[in-house]
Structure 1
Amino acid sequence: MNQSALIRPDWTPATIALMVLGFVVFWPLGLAMLAYILFGEKLRAFKKDANGSVDRMCAGFRRNHRQHWAHHRTGNVAFDDWREAELARLDEERRKLDEMREEFDAYVRELRRAKDQDEFDRFMRERRNGGPAPSTGSETS
């Protein structure tokens, strides 16, 4: 996330001003801004978890729907064999795509962890060397 953004889920002058203005204009707006300041970073994880749960639930529905029709025979043996082979192939493709998505998610998590570690190491080096005072992130360049 871009930490130089004017409005981000943090206690910055802009977010505090918007919160106070929200309370003055219409108190639920101020309350919403306060919730964003306090829980804004957690909302992204909540959204990802909720989307993952819904995706898994819908995948179960699709799987059950396919199983229902897989047992339905048309009477044409060649067509039924072809359909079962195609459904098996599609299930395998879906499984591969799900594995690739999980691998990519793990890769992105590792990149974020490495970036955080790099920023922390840089901070500790500057602190040990008596470098510049750490910025709060509220200044823009």
Structure 2
Amino acid sequence: MTQVVQTLDDFGRPAWIAAMVLGFIVFWPVGLTILAYMLWSGRMNCGWHQGRGRWENRFADRFERARSRVEEEMRNFGRGAASSGNKAFDDYRDATLKRLEEEEREFRAFLERLRQAKDKSEFDQFMSERRDRPAPNEGATT
């Protein structure tokens, strides 16, 4: 088998394609097996095994520009939105966002106080149950 592979490699990709076509003509699973082997081994040179392929190179610049735009928008997202062009609306939006941020801080503080109260209540209940339970040596007679 390795001698057949070596011979086909010596003739190059056209020999592999011819073997695949003949395999499909003779018995289709043979052709499919050859095609799978060619793709898996990298003999088709389709870019899977050699870093960036032809299609990746074609769209790499577009992808990089789109990625940088998204990253820039994500950086600007935390700083606030861009101006809408209407000063009154921008002022209203900024005031509303500040009010919502303040309400969020108050709500988070409220939740923290609730958690602390619940923790204290559970701890107090544990301590009272511990105090009320008899000591292990009190009920024992010697």
TM-score (norm 2): 0.38
TM-score (norm 1): 0.39
Give the greater-gyration-radius structure (CA): 2
Structure with more contact order per residue of length (Cα contacts < 8 Å, sep ≥ 6): 1
